[in-house]
Amino acid sequence: MKQTSKLIVFIILLAFVCACGNQTVTAPVPQLKPEWLWKPSDNGKIGGVGIAKEHIHGIDAQRKLAVSRAIDSIAAQLGVQVQNVTVLESHADSSGAGTTTIDSYSIHTVQGSTVKASVREFWNDPQTNELYVWMVLE
């Protein structure tokens, strides 16, 4: 009786292993990053890439931040003076409730020139949810 139950358990385990062995598991295909991340210039025109993580104020704020960073990158390549200023304000009322706001400003200074660039492409990294933007000087 004891050997019969061992034999039954062995047959069940063998059937289970055989059933699992026939299944093929496909690994997820890794998402390749666009080529412009490494080479943002296009046909001799200066290019830049801006990257922004998920933003507390949503996708529009994330997009604006990425664009601002791409313009900063282009401006820096042109020898433009780039100055980023962050202003942090905290307020509290008599009940102890408080609010905090953060404003970021990017100031580009160049001798009488304007930096104009156009967006070529956006790409969202599915693993990190970072938004990338590729811009090229017009």
User: Is 125 inside any structural domain?
Assistant: yes
pLDDT digits (tens, 9 = 90+) for 76-107: 888 766 666 666 666 677 776 777 666 655 56
Question: Structural domain tally of the chain?
Answer: 1
CA pair distance 75, 109, nearest whole angstrom: 9
User: Is 101 inside any structural domain?
Assistant: yes
User: Is 10 inside any structural domain?
Assistant: no
Q: Which pLDDT score is estimated for 71?
A: 87
User: Is 82 inside any structural domain?
Assistant: yes
Contacts 24+ apart (CB under 8 A), 71-77: 71/106, 71/108, 71/115, 71/117, 71/135, 72/48, 72/106, 72/108, 73/40, 73/48, 73/49, 74/46, 74/47, 74/48, 74/115, 74/117, 74/135, 74/137, 75/108, 75/110, 75/115, 77/46, 77/48
User: Is 129 inside any structural domain?
Assistant: yes
User: Is 27 inside any structural domain?
Assistant: no
pLDDT digits (tens, 9 = 90+) for 2-41: 666 666 766 776 666 666 655 566 766 666 889 999 999 8
pLDDT digits (tens, 9 = 90+) for 62-74: 999 999 899 888 8
User: Is 13 inside any structural domain?
Assistant: no
Domain ranges, residue 76: 35-137
Cβ–Cβ contacts within 10 Å for residue 113, how many?
Answer: 11
135: pLDDT strictly greater than 80: yes
Vertex 60 angle, CA 59 and 66, to 5°: 85
User: Is 59 inside any structural domain?
Assistant: yes
